[in-house]
Amino acid sequence: MKALHIVSFVVFGYLTVGCTNHSADDEGEFATRLKAAGAVRGTDDREEAFSKIALDAAEANRPEVVMKCLGGISTVDLRDQTASKAAVRLANAGAEKAALKTAGVILNTGLRDETLKRIANPD
């Protein structure tokens, strides 16, 4: 279990490097929220925080933040569900390439196919 936490922190640290150009307020808000979520000690609470931030970031068309958050979620089902919802939101925000990349991290093939179908045929 300790190794999983170490891997999660390494992955999270790796994914938090290199934000793209966005307003300073936007950067500050997500950076603060990511830092706070990463500091939560309880695994379930931390992962729920990352999930919420990922969905908010997808709405704001911030795919790099979405990927950082997904890197902080080790529970496969929650990561897959979050990635699916975020991918659809990114596609709806006009970030189709980022939506496809996000859908690509979904391990559940049925959910991944359903997500890709929703990206291909938006409502």
The pLDDT value recorded for residue 71 is: 97
CA atoms of 63 and 47, how far apart (whole Å): 18
The pLDDT value recorded for residue 20 is: 42
Which residue did the predictor score with more confidence, 26 or 87?
Answer: 87
Looking at every residue in the chain, the average pLDDT score rounds to: 85
The pLDDT value recorded for residue 16 is: 40
What integer is the mean pLDDT of 67-96? 97
Task: Kindly indicate the confidence band of residue 78, based on its pLDDT and cuts at 50, 70 and 90.
Answer: very high
pTM: 0.78
Is 103 in contact with 112 (CB distance < 8 Å)? yes
Does residue 41 register a pLDDT over 50? yes
The pLDDT value recorded for residue 29 is: 87
